[in-house]
Amino acid sequence: MLLRVVSCGFVVESFSVSYVELTLSLSLAVALRFAFPIFMKNRASTHLFLLLIIVGLQIAGYVAVTRAALLRGYQPSTVSAVRDLLLYVPILFLVLWLARRMKFKGSYALYTTAILLFSLGMLVQYRLYSDPEYGSRNKAEARAEKTQVQRLRFINKFYDDDKKRMLGFSTNREQVEAQLLDQAETQSNITVGRVLLSGYTWIPLLAFVSFGIAYFFCTRDDFLNLVQRHSFIIVLLTLVPLVAAVITSSAGKALGNMTPWEPSKIPFLLGFAGILTAYYRDLAKTYWGMPRAQAIIPLVVMALIPFIPFFALKDFGQMLVFSGAYATLYLVAVRRWPQLLVFVGSVVLVIGVLIAGSLPPNVQEKVPLLPTLSRPVQAALPARIKQRFHLWLDGFNPPSPNEDWWKKDYDDALARDQRMRELAESSEAMKDTVNVDVWFDRIAFQPAQATFGIASGGLTGRGLGLGFAEVIPVADSDYIYAAIGEELGLIGGGLVILALIVFVNAGMRTAIDARDMFTKLCSAGLTAFIGFQALVNIGGITRALPMTGITLPFVSHGGFSLITSFAMLGMLMAFSNRNARDAAATAAPPRPTTTPRTNGDPFILEAVE
């Protein structure tokens, strides 16, 4: 009844947009004004208070989504909303568990920023899943029903009584508005049992469990010693299920619509960090500014191992993320300027060659000798990577149907549609028209809709639930940043980027404060994985980078991706806690002892000189 009364007072969608934007903008501004100064204080009570602020903003967001849904003629699921809000119970419990049971002394900023990103993603996902058009098989029919509600509401608000009588419409505005709201407030088909068995319930819970397990084990020196000593074996064992997943995958997916190779990031990172810890001193022994072969070959072999299955999957995004993470580890371990300059120059050269070789032919022709020089690169690149680069650099201009990397998809589309094939064969002009339709239907539709959505969002967005993010395919996963940009505008997108910057800053601070090389490399690698994955995702959606189809950490709905992100968060917080305890032990005056160290003492990770 309260929602009905509130909605009756704001029957015009444009005014509702302004009201929602104003309310959320003021709430966010007030929250940031008072929360940011205390954000830097590293006390459990402080960050628990910030989490409660996030919960309050989340409730306000759910109310805004519900109001917008009623205005557009449908009722969101109350059961799903309650489920989402109940997920904050284990989130708050983990803070108390860290503070009381585990005596956490590290940076709580890691946890708070991750939960902020997770909350924003959960809110946008709720808005998308509550829209009947987003998950409908007949999207045209669902959209027509919403449009009809908007049409009736416009007639009720702006037509005079004579026009309403001519259309057979009631002249009682309040009665018509109440009828529209009654029609919208129908019972949802989502039941409690369906929610309890849903992956949207269990995946976050498994992510929280993985966070606790990762934190518990990474606080133990014996576990870290074991991983460091047997890092190569761990990588080899990881390849077995990964290769099996690659063999059984279809279109880059396995186990339904999931990517089970996401958790392989952690053992691959531990393996590379372990081998780099063993050889990083030898890298300083250079010959003409370059390390010796016996030091660099094991690193190259370990770094290339994860690229083999991802190359088989044609997963360009994961290769970019791994390249960025491994480059970060190498830069952390190597501290000689000649090596750093050679390494950075080599990376820039490789990227430049890839971009030059992937430029569209009409662009290459403007540079002398570039088509000839880029021909070997084009021959070596997989078709999927060529497609991604064309989509990035010239996505609104379809390639020729005779392009080698596009011809197969074009022919497959014509083979499935006889009418379209007949049109293409009728004339060259019609062939070009069919080519445009096939290109935007199969390849360019998602990035085009994402670009239009972000552009329409402007500074403050259309308002939660009042945009058209539901027309973007996979808007809850790979393209969730486009949905945020459309409905929350530049402010919402900037909040995501700001939270990621704070998270990466806290993660790199954890790496800098580490007192042994292994945890230093692990901290830097975990931060780089999350940072580069976010950079590749946001860069692809905003067309600053090629679109690669990977998720936004903590924000996107991803099964193994979300679980892996929280496991990485647990490891980072364990290393942060270790740094704080080591710093406290170093600052404390030494205790006099008469017990000498024996050879039976536990193995201690080597300290950085």
Q: Which pTM does this prediction carry?
A: 0.85
- pLDDT bracket for residue 609 (50, 70, 90): very low
Q: What pLDDT digit, counting tens, does each position of 51-76 carry?
A: 999 999 999 999 999 888 888 878 88
Helix segments in 131-251, DSSP class H: 139-158, 161-166, 173-184, 192-196, 199-218, 221-229, 231-248
Q: What pLDDT digit, counting tens, does each position of 407-426 carry?
A: 888 888 888 888 888 888 88
pLDDT at res. 597: 44
Which pair of structure tokens corresponds to residue 175?
A: 């009665």
pLDDT at 122 over 80: yes
Of the ranges 201-205, 237-241, 480-484, which one carries the lowest mean pLDDT score? Answer: 237-241
pLDDT at res. 126: 93
User: Higher-confidence residue: 94 or 199?
Assistant: 94
- pLDDT bracket for residue 559 (50, 70, 90): confident
109, with CB counted inside 10 A (0-12, 13-18, 19+), is buried
pLDDT at res. 91: 95
| Best-predicted range by mean pLDDT (146-150, 261-265, 440-444) | 440-444
What phi, psi does 546 have (nearest 5°)? -65, 140
pLDDT at 189 over 80: no
User: Higher-confidence residue: 1 or 316?
Assistant: 316
Task: In whole angstroms, give the CA distance from residue 284 to residue 106.
Answer: 32
pLDDT at res. 600: 42
User: Higher-confidence residue: 429 or 135?
Assistant: 429
pLDDT at 594 over 60: no
User: Higher-confidence residue: 595 or 510?
Assistant: 510
pLDDT at 183 over 70: no
Q: What pLDDT digit, counting tens, does each position of 28-52 carry?
A: 554 444 445 555 557 888 889 999 9
**Mean pLDDT score of the chain:** 80
Report percent pLDDT > 70 for the chain: 83
pLDDT at res. 386: 81
Assess contact for 42 and 107: CB atoms under 8 A.
yes
- CA angle in degrees (0–180, nearest 5) for 407-408-411: 80
Three-class HEC string of 570-606: HHHHHHHHHHHHHHHHHHCCCCCCCCCCCCCCCCCCC
